[in-house]
Amino acid sequence: MEKLLHLWENTGLYQITSGQGFMIIIGMLLLYLAINKNFEPLLLVPIGFGGVLANIPGAGLADPGGILYLFYTIGIESGAFPLIIFMGVGAMTDFGPLLANPKTLFLGAAAQFGIFATLMGAVLLSTFGVFDFSLADAAAIGIIGGADGPTSIYVASKLAPDLLGAIAVASYSYMALVPLIQPPIMRALTTETERKIKMVQQRHVSQREKIVFPLLLLLLVAFLLPDAAPLLGMFCFGNLMKECAVVDRLSNTTQNSLINTVTIFLGLAVGSKLSAEQFLDFTTLGILLLGMVAFSIGTASGILMAKLLNKFCGGGINPLIGSSGVSAVPMAARVSNKLGLEADPHNFLLMHAMGPNVAGVIGSAVAAGIMINYVTGG
């Protein structure tokens, strides 16, 4: 009888708390969104499943010694996984459209305003006592506005590890929601005639330029902002491997098997942060809201900058490509293209929007470097 009682006390049913039950439901919801609605399935499947695993009562998968805890410590706490992903993203990036029209870098810079505006918002909210965010927390929340998953995770792991679960979920869900969030803002800020502006065919960019560019970017980062060097260094390395065309084997591995492997473990490790005591909190709601604000402001400031650039450069820049300054590659560029086609069925903006899109990746990595530098150094 005693043995039977012992067995009963060890079952999940006996040990489960309401918080764990709720988190398992949230994990299942993420799985539903990924599988049934096709929302960023590559990430939400591992994250959702990791969330379910982490909340199994009594199993302790996310506690010290558990397998998910191990993934987290090795990959995320050390900063390794986001950096490896960034290398893969670099190997998949084509800087051609950016090199053909370097002015689009300004759009990538403008869209980062969302990051800093949200940082300010989070700071204001804590000043009024609504939330209790430190400057480091506020910085990590703001970076959601960059719409760049690996960068958000990297910054959160450095500045606010407690909030990592919520920040990662927020930034990846907003990346998936790009086609829903951006169009209303884009339509509100542009006129019909502006949306119809056609952009001239881009010039041809030679292979040599594409090889020199990552090296140039690396040198600039090395001299000016070493704090952004981990992110942009890996990014440039991946890109150089692709463009130099003499290490195709390495470049293929980085773009495919390596990034896939790391994505699996990254997702599970982020999921392990979805434990009830850390996630079921009033601040999570705040993070989700602020992330959305960050993202919307980034989109809006990108478009306004594109309008300004259009004025100064004497036309020829469709303001729709401004929203691609947030770095969600390539969803944001596709949205620009779609809205351009909507206004005029012969207006193809995709290649033009890829320039600001890639610039956004560089911009948010620079912003991340500044935040890490300021918060940890000051």
Nearer to other proteins, 20 or 255 (CB): 255
Question: Minimum CB separation from other proteins for residue 247, in Å?
Answer: 9
Site for other proteins contains 326 (CB under 8 A):
no
Question: Minimum CB separation from other proteins for residue 345, in Å?
Answer: 32
Q: How far apart are CA 365 and CA 232, in angstroms?
A: 7
Q: Exactly one of 24, 115, 262, 292 binds other proteins (CB under 8 A); which one?
A: 115
* Segment lying near other proteins (by CB under 8 A), choices 54-62, 70-78, 119-127, 152-160: 119-127
Nearer to other proteins, 292 or 366 (CB): 366
Restricting to residues 161-220, name those near other proteins by CB under 8 A.
205-209, 211-213, 216-217, 220
Q: Exactly one of 23, 109, 153, 294 binds other proteins (CB under 8 A); which one?
A: 109
* Rg over CA atoms, the chain: 22
Q: Exactly one of 28, 103, 187, 288 binds other proteins (CB under 8 A); which one?
A: 103
Restricting to residues 72-101, name those near other proteins by CB under 8 A.
98-99
* Segment lying near other proteins (by CB under 8 A), choices 12-20, 59-67, 241-249, 267-275: 241-249
Q: How far apart are CA 161 and CA 289, in angstroms?
A: 19
The length of the chain in residues reads: 378
Residues in contact with other proteins, counted by CB under 8 A, come to a total of 51
Enumerate binding residues for other proteins (CB under 8 A). Answer: 98-99, 102-103, 105-106, 108-109, 112-113, 115-117, 119-120, 122-124, 126-127, 134-135, 138-139, 205-209, 211-213, 216-217, 220, 224-225, 244-246, 248, 359, 362-363, 366-367, 370-371, 374-375, 378
